[in-house]
Amino acid sequence: MHIRFHAAIAELPAAEWDALRADANPFVSHAFLDALERSGCIRPDWGWQAHHVGLYEDGRLRAAAPLYLKGNSHGEFVFDWSWASAWQRAGGEYYPKLLNGVPYSPVPGPRLLAGNHVRTPSLQRELVEAMRREAERLGLSSVHANFLQPAELAAFDDDVPDQGWLARSDVQFHWHNHGYRHFPDFLAALNHKKRKNILHERRQVAASGLAIEWRSGDTLDDDEWQRVHALYEATFDMKGNHAALTAAFFRRLGTLGSTAQLALARDGAAIVAMALFVQSSNVLYGRYWGASVDVPGLHFELCYYRGIEHAIAHQLDRFEPGAQGEHKLARGFLPVRTHSRHYLVNPDFRAAVAKALASEAEAVDAYAAGLRSHSPYAAHGQVER
């Protein structure tokens, strides 16, 4: 087995890379990652440098992982700022570090791409070991694997307890399709209070006079994409954050067939609000929102209710609207656990972080249990998956 690290996704064969995905998750597709790199979203001065790993056998790609040298912790959504601060106060250099993940995308999915066959577990372990050895070879502080699939977690298990990868978990809110025929069918599954609140929010938007439409990204023209990006950028600016995705990236999304989906609100011909989604064959992923008008209920209408309607109409299995947000619980999204793994090269530093993570895990477990006791559904059978 020959291991190579690549400074661009374009160096890896697209068809072979995509064939290694355990499912059709669009965020780890070669085209999506290539769009990020070619459109100026992956830049060393923004803390991102591609360092993808490929495992080759007889000249053919057998396993791979999206990997980045990170000069900061922006755009990861598994927050380790306190670790960086502690290590730097102790005289160490936390950055750069290695990240196995997808830039700017807190979306659970495949991270260790090794197909789906009898050799998959051993190939995934090879990838994990390759990342750890590379961190030690380069003198880096750490390796991080974010938003892993449950089936990948075993690849990070170590033979020597307390000397390997540290486990971390968090909570997101996902909607699952229980065979609903239409939106009213979904509403009927909720308890009376939640159903009443949703109907009230939707009536507010209907009374605003805005026209709401659902569009596939490949049907937008350049001017529409430019407006969508402007709304996205304005939202980040308003919150004092950096809008890392470029207008060129948004336009490239529009060339990837039906990967991009949008809910648009128009005042006359002008797009005044948008919600951008990414779709696979069976899952809808909510990504970004922006608006130039202040209309009660509009955010929930575009970002949640239109997405649920689309998922029902296209018989999608679930809808993942993005990271965080307890307000999603009242709108039919139930808590699910996300998983990450972390390798800190220095054993003393690793032990200190492990102690902190044990306390954090207790808090997250209690939080998740509390959320489950507040299900918005009338039937107790509606539970997280």
> Higher-confidence residue: 37 or 159?
37
Q: Give the C-alpha separation, 54 to 11, whole Å.
A: 10
- Is-contact 218 258, C-beta < 8 A? yes
Find the farthest-apart pair of alpha carbons in the chain and give their distance in angstroms, rounded: 64
CA angle 170/173/179 to nearest 5° reads 140
Residue 383 binned pLDDT confidence (cut-offs 50, 70, 90): very low
Mean pLDDT (the chain, rounded): 95
Distances (CA, A) of 196 to 184, 208, 210: 12, 19, 22
pLDDT at residue 381 tops 70: no
Q: What residues form DSSP beta bridges with 264? A: 213, 274
- For residue 191, give the DSSP letter: -
Tokens of 334: 């139930």
- Is-contact 198 305, C-beta < 8 A? yes
From 152-156, 163-167, 217-221, the region with the lowest mean pLDDT: 163-167
Tell me what percent of the residues of the chain surpass a pLDDT of 70: 97
Residue 380 binned pLDDT confidence (cut-offs 50, 70, 90): low
In the prediction, which pLDDT does 162 show? 61
In the prediction, which pLDDT does 379 show? 77
In the prediction, which pLDDT does 159 show? 57
In the prediction, which pLDDT does 160 show? 57
The closest alpha carbon to 272, from 245, 254, 296, 290, belongs to 290
201: part of which helix (H) or strand (E)?
helix 192-207
In the prediction, which pLDDT does 325 show? 86
Distances (CA, A) of 381 to 173, 327, 375: 17, 21, 10
**Average pLDDT of 336-362?**
96
189-229 residue pLDDT tens: 999 999 999 999 999 999 999 999 999 999 999 999 999 99
Tokens of 248: 């060129």
